Amino acid sequence: MSELSISKTTERFAVLAREAARCVRCPSMSGRTAVLSHLNGPLTARIMFIGEAPGRKGADRTRIPFSGDQSGKNFDRFLTSINLRRDQIFITSAALCNPQTVSGANRKPTQQEVTNCSGFLRRAIELVDPFVIVTLGSVALDALKRIHYHQFTLKEDAGRIIEWQGRLLVPIYHPSPQVLASHRREAQQLIDYKVVAQAIQSGLKRAITENTT
């Protein structure tokens, strides 16, 4: 990417981040700020991870996706297992603000909340233009349906490399302690991340081929 292209992308991303910060589409999240800034990762990243939503003790507090809580620690451990660094990836979420219950606990974003954020996700994908997208959990995978419909499910397609909109998509499970304890144990998640590494290598080879033809 040329310096001019990087400059234009940076300007467009700044506009997107400002729009997300001002968004008031979800009444239940009023008073919370979207987690979307330069802290999400480099705009030149070729790999994008999409999570569910910022955690109350994690990204909602630190402003850095998957940091400050146990999910973030697990995520970092899985990245390290395939020698992937945070400065090589861009991370965003299906819902950019932290959804909470009346008592203040984290909850899953509703379908409407994910729909409300779908425009921000679509534009982030277009700006970063990754050749590999990794969805973390069913909410993130379903969020892609609002951009381009698919019939993939986490149950059937976790740990697989799939073609989606000219990109390689790898659906995997969320790195939360609850998921690790009951749905996808660490050993299996480590295998899933090896598939992510395979997708990255395949994406690199595809990019090199396209640039030389």
pLDDT tens profile 84-138: 999 999 999 999 999 999 898 999 999 999 999 999 999 999 999 999 999 999 9
Using the predicted structure, report yes or no on whether residue 5 has a pLDDT greater than 90: no
Tokens 């001002």, residue located: 22
From residue 190, alpha-carbon distances to 19, 41, 50 in Å are: 36, 23, 18
Percent of the chain with pLDDT over 70: 97
Average pLDDT, the chain: 94
Longest dimension (CA), the chain: 57
Coil, strand or helix at 22: helix
Report pTM.
Answer: 0.94
Query: Is the Cβ–Cβ distance between 91 and 39 less than 8 Å?
Result: no
Query: Do the beta carbons of residue 117 and residue 95 sit within 8 Å?
Result: yes
Under 8 Å CB-to-CB from 60, ≥6 apart: which residues?
Answer: 32, 35, 54, 97, 98
Parse the chain into domains and list their residue ranges: 3-212
Interval 59-89: pLDDT, tens: 999 999 999 999 999 999 999 999 999 999 9
CATH T-level topology, domain 3-212: Uracil-DNA Glycosylase, subunit E (3.40.470)
The mean pLDDT of 12-22, rounded to a whole number, is 97
d(CA 77, CA 193) in angstroms, rounded, equals: 11
- For residue range 138-165, what is the model confidence (pLDDT) as tens digits? 999 999 999 999 999 999 999 999 999 9
In terms of DSSP bridges, do strands 47-51 and 167-172 run parallel, antiparallel, or are they unpaired?
Answer: unpaired
Residue type, 32: R
- pLDDT value at residue 204: 82
